[in-house]
Structure 1
Amino acid sequence: MQLVIKNLNKTYANGVQALTNVSLTINKGMFGLLGPNGAGKSSLMRTISTLQEADSGSITFQSSEGEINVLEQKDKVRSILGYLPQEFGVYPKVSAEVLLDHLAVLKGITNKAERKEIVTALLNKTNLYDKRKKNLGGFSGGMKQRFGIAQALLANPELIIVDEPTAGLDPAERNRFHNLLSELGENTIVILSTHIVDDVKELCTDMAIINKGEVLLQVHPLKAIESLENKVWRKRIERSEVESYNKRMNVISDRMSAGKPVIHVFSEAQPEEGFEIVEADLEDVYFNTVTSHQLPFTNK
């Protein structure tokens, strides 16, 4: 099971180039696609899920039934695809059970007894069975996302795409959603598109960073973190000093702590007195890649 994307390009009618020579190889498991808002993540997800055309390039999926040309064999792709878009609309006055049953019919599950069994199993899997009679308009954000996963799992997909699934969820719902996604990644390809670094750190065994429509990096998260070892330095500074440090050093991030900025700097040696070395994390990898394009490790 493998998804291979080669030299994919997409420019919209308004002249915005959303994807530029995107190439990725994605194997079974959880794959994180990390990038800021507007980086091209959703454009790539919509292209893979056959919702928009590419200008050039290729996407092939090695499924249990053989190789599928994603850009040309759209019906075949849809039959093995589960998709949870960034904005997932529901009918507010319809219950979870009724809507999931309706969506199962649209997926081609016409046998009533089989459909009931599948709907019940998915509502249990997503921890929504006790709320199955409740109208979706009364669901919390996390419950709606779990319903979104339930509909994405209809017809046993081999490829699952989830676009910004945890944005806006409270910590408890986010943890529930993480557990569900992690379980799904054991037997399928799950592409998690997000700007939340912690989602990738906690869930994914492989990842790519994308910005301005270009893939900057594809690497194992732990390998990327290890490559920054002894190269990330921290210092608490005054707000008035931020601009000066940005001009003089490779500042990869700054955040407020106890009312003052704390900067992280990428450097082979101590940048100057007052800096302390810190243990690098995936956020450092992300900001270092996106802001400076300095890649101290080898891409896949």
Structure 2
Amino acid sequence: MTLSPHSSLCLSQEQSELRDAVRAFLTRLPDAPWSRFAAELGVAGLAVPEEYGGAGCGPAETAVVCEELGRALSPHPYLQTAVLAVEAITATGDAAAMARLLPPLADGSLTATVLLPGDAELTLDGDRLTGTARGVLPGELVLALVGGTLVEAAPSSRTPLPTLDQTRPLTALAFDAVPAVRLGGGTPDRIRDAGVAALASEQVGGAAACLEAAVSHARQRHQFGRAIGSFQAVKHKLADMLLLVESARSAALAAARAPAPRLGVLAAVAGSYCGEAYLGAAAENIQIHGGTGITWEHPAHRYFKRATCDAWLFGPPQAHRARLASAAGL
């Protein structure tokens, strides 16, 4: 079985080299801190304009990094820092805010997170922010969209939360009339769609890793004198997994390369499909591994846990399908 046949075909030479560099780093130094990962590879600033210390690239490049991070189950705060925060700050058009915040985000010396409507209960009274947020991706810099305005505020407290997926930390934030700096206007849907598209690429990476592990095990594991991959039932499972992975990759690529007017629809398609595809691939990987797949020592359960939690990060697949139905006038 040939894995991910069109993955490389859909990437430019530069994107393929970026993928290889990120994969090599995560293989060689899986426990390297965020600052080193960001500094050595320069990936934190891919979407940051060049005048603010970034590479001036776009979602297609950040999607390459996201897929590799998902493949490695990396806990690096790339999604919230290099995607959500950069998108939120640049969308304000506030030159002073961009000059102050984007350079440290680009060089990896600062991490960030963004609180979107629906993810937090916040009120802005003048220049004071009050409220709470649970299940938030952690970041040093906290940005919040309140009433169409992006604000920067330091929470009164940060409480790490116990999570099913220990590779994706979550936290609870509380704001007790803390000072808030207004950075400009923000569009929640645009920021959320950017996050959904990036997460879809992560999910593709995780699903592809599950497929690779399942194929490798099916080739090596023998029963009745034969590799289990030669049994028709196992072949069917692997073929179904391949279909899931490649279909998810197509949806994620479409969202990553979507023009602005089409981003909402294509992100909803990716959000609807990629989460369920990842869950399906992760579950089948456990099944093909048999008893080994349910042991704590084997990584199969870690992918299933990441898939389960990711499926709810920006709303469940049903919510994305509801958006598609609304866009279609149904």
TM-score (norm. length: structure 2): 0.27
Query: Which one has the largest radius of gyration?
Result: 1
Which of 1 and 2 has higher RCO (CA within 8 Å, sep 6+)?
A: 1
Query: Where is the strand percentage greater, Structure 1 or Structure 2?
Result: 1
Query: Where is the helix percentage greater, Structure 1 or Structure 2?
Result: 2
TM-score (norm. length: structure 1): 0.29
